[in-house]
Amino acid sequence: MTDPKKLEIAIGSCGELQSLPPGWRFDIDSDNGRVFFIRDRDNVSTVHNPNAGPLPPNWRLQWRKTKDGGGVVGYYNTSTTRFTGKNPRHFAEELAQNSTHAPFELQTACSSARRDMNEDTSTWVSQPIAHHDFSQNFKIVHTIDDGEGGIGAMNGGVHVVKLPKVNSLYIRKIFKRDRPSLEMALREIQLVRKAQHSAITVYHAAFHAEGIGASLYIEFCDRGSLKDLIKAYSKHIGDNPLPSVPEGFVWHAFGGLTDALAYLKTGTSYIGKNTAPVPSWNPILHRDVKPDNILLRSRSTLASKRYFYCVLSDFGLACELDNPLSDNAQKFGGLCGTCSFWAPELCFAPYATRQLSEAGRFAGDRRHSSRSDLWALGACMYNLCMAPHASGELVHVHWPPPTDISDLAVAPFDLWFSSYISRQWRGTHLAIPERYSPQLQHAIAHATALEVEKRPNPVTMTEWLKVWAKESGFHQPGSADPLPEWATKKHEYFTTAELKGV
């Protein structure tokens, strides 16, 4: 067993060693200085990081002594004898060397990493939508949904896939092959490809054509969803003291995701340097903001103490606001989205069963808007602040539903979730616990204002959040309390054979 002091030095010098899955540890070979990983439950050892996967050929993690008598762990190339602290998985020459294993149109996608909030989004380049099926280049390592109706009517399957030799994980969303599904698939693919923001899921590749179907490849978020995080807190409801989500994380999620909505509205980020709306931008509505669709992803730099990325995902119900040909639901006011996260202005009067079951449309001339997306996000942040009490992530709805709706034509829960009165019970906004700062209480109150006219649009809200976060003292990244280790689960999908390099 290597001296603990030496292992501590190794961790401090190499970010890759600072975040291993539960039940894993690393050691250093006393003979050659090579770093290897050990899984405790069966004592399996491998030279491949169980999180990051194998290194490119000829590269290894290596301990090297320094002139001051200490040491450092870095990346060593056995062929060229190069020693560096930079991860060779991201070197352009290494990706080019493996080009026979990855089609040209995927090479850039495989080398991309989570983008920084301050980066100029106009410099980002997305791969074109292909017209041929390249799915044979990927290996399915985990099935999220088998396409039998578990996640959406248009869905033909959702899988975690891996591109061999590159060792990058992606989500592949397969669309059904009927014409309506393919039409919706093209719209979703185009919108995800168009939306390039640090708090929006990253597009990697896609193909779409009659006769072969359609698939969308997006980034794999390894820490689950906001819903998973809320549920993790609900399991600690009996703890003393009662845990609560750190306020710093709420500000982090709230600010980034609100700016994502502002970006969808104007085509620019209001946290970054460029804050001028894009004149030619056609505003995008998400229309299904909820904890399930807010994903969490680890930092690219494992040594970072900043919170996980919060990513707005699933654009299956999104549409361009000023393009009526792209979506009939928005054009004619058709019901759309998850009714339990509809903003108050979209909800029905109590017991409006005829409107719900027959018309299939919102009452009057109501439509989704950027303000209704903001209300849904505010409701998500409210549920986050209410954890661990928000076990069903629906504490923004008054429980239980009235007993006199049980015999109506529409399912009672759907009717209740769709009703105006279910959002009214706290007055004009959702009030979070007093353990959070007045500024955060104020922010969530504005985002969830009952009257749409009194609710800011996402652009204004982003500007306000910057001011309020600074006033609250939670504006410095990495300075707030961390999330507890049990709050999220690291998802890994590498087999024992792959870890051993077989």
Residue 412 sits in the same domain as residue 277: yes
Query: Percent of the chain at pLDDT above 90?
Result: 38
307-359 pLDDT, tens digit each: 889 999 999 999 998 776 667 788 888 888 999 999 999 988 876 666 666 67
Residue located via tokens 């600072």: 18
207-255 pLDDT, tens digit each: 998 878 899 999 988 889 999 999 999 999 888 889 999 999 999 999 9
CATH of the domain at 258: 1.10.510.10
Most confident by average pLDDT, 59-73, 126-140, 255-269: 255-269
Residue 315 sits in the same domain as residue 357: yes
* pLDDT for the residue 156: 76
* pLDDT for the residue 178: 80
Q: How far apart are CA 267 and CA 322, in angstroms?
A: 14
Average pLDDT over residues 132-154: 73
Q: Judge whether residue 112 has pLDDT over 70.
A: no
How would residue 430 be classed by pLDDT, with cut points 50, 70 and 90?
confident
Q: Is residue 415 part of a domain?
A: yes
Residue 231 sits in the same domain as residue 140: no
Indicate the number of domains in the chain. 3
Q: Judge whether residue 15 has pLDDT over 80.
A: no
Residue 215 sits in the same domain as residue 288: no
Calculate the average pLDDT of the chain.
Answer: 81
Does residue 189 contact residue 173 with C-beta atoms inside 8 Å? no
Residue 170 sits in the same domain as residue 29: no
Weakest mean pLDDT among 82-91, 167-176, 474-483: 474-483
Domain that holds residue 65: 4-95
How would residue 442 be classed by pLDDT, with cut points 50, 70 and 90?
very high
Q: Judge whether residue 409 has pLDDT over 60.
A: no
Residue located via tokens 């979506």: 327
Mark which of 179, 201, 219 sits at the end of a domain: 219
Residue with the bigger pLDDT between 473 and 266: it is 266
pTM for the structure as a whole: 0.74
Residue 327 sits in the same domain as residue 459: yes
How would residue 100 be classed by pLDDT, with cut points 50, 70 and 90?
very low
Q: Is residue 498 part of a domain?
A: no
Main-chain dihedrals φ then ψ at residue 469, nearest 5 degrees:
-65, -40
* pLDDT for the residue 117: 45
Q: What is the DSSP letter of 469?
A: H
Residue 193 sits in the same domain as residue 291: no
* pLDDT for the residue 287: 95
Q: Is residue 184 part of a domain?
A: yes
Mark which of 201, 219, 237 sits at the end of a domain: 219
Residue 201 sits in the same domain as residue 136: yes
Residue with the bigger pLDDT between 70 and 94: it is 70
Residue 119 sits in the same domain as residue 195: yes
Q: Is residue 271 part of a domain?
A: yes
Q: Is residue 494 part of a domain?
A: no
Residue with the bigger pLDDT between 314 and 491: it is 314
Q: Judge whether residue 110 has pLDDT over 50.
A: no
> What does the block give as tokens for 347?
């909800």
Average pLDDT over residues 119-147: 74
Q: How far apart are CA 479 and CA 476, in angstroms?
A: 6
Q: How far apart are CA 95 and CA 113, in angstroms?
A: 14
Residue 252 sits in the same domain as residue 384: yes
Q: Is residue 500 part of a domain?
A: no
Weakest mean pLDDT among 112-121, 149-158, 261-270, 275-284: 112-121
Mark which of 95, 130, 147 sits at the end of a domain: 95
Q: Is residue 439 part of a domain?
A: yes
Residue 127 sits in the same domain as residue 252: no
Give Cβ neighbours of residue 355 (< 8 Å, ≥ 6 apart).
Answer: 348, 361, 363
Q: Judge whether residue 92 has pLDDT over 60.
A: no
Residue 163 sits in the same domain as residue 298: no
CATH of the domain at 195: 3.30.200.20
Q: Judge whether residue 375 has pLDDT over 90.
A: yes
41-90 pLDDT, tens digit each: 888 888 888 766 678 889 999 999 988 888 999 999 999 999 998 878 65
How would residue 192 be classed by pLDDT, with cut points 50, 70 and 90?
very high
* Cα radius of gyration (the chain): 24
Q: Judge whether residue 395 has pLDDT over 80.
A: yes
How would residue 379 be classed by pLDDT, with cut points 50, 70 and 90?
very high
The torsion region of residue 10 among left (phi > 0), alpha (psi -120 to 50) and beta comes to alpha
Q: Is residue 492 part of a domain?
A: no
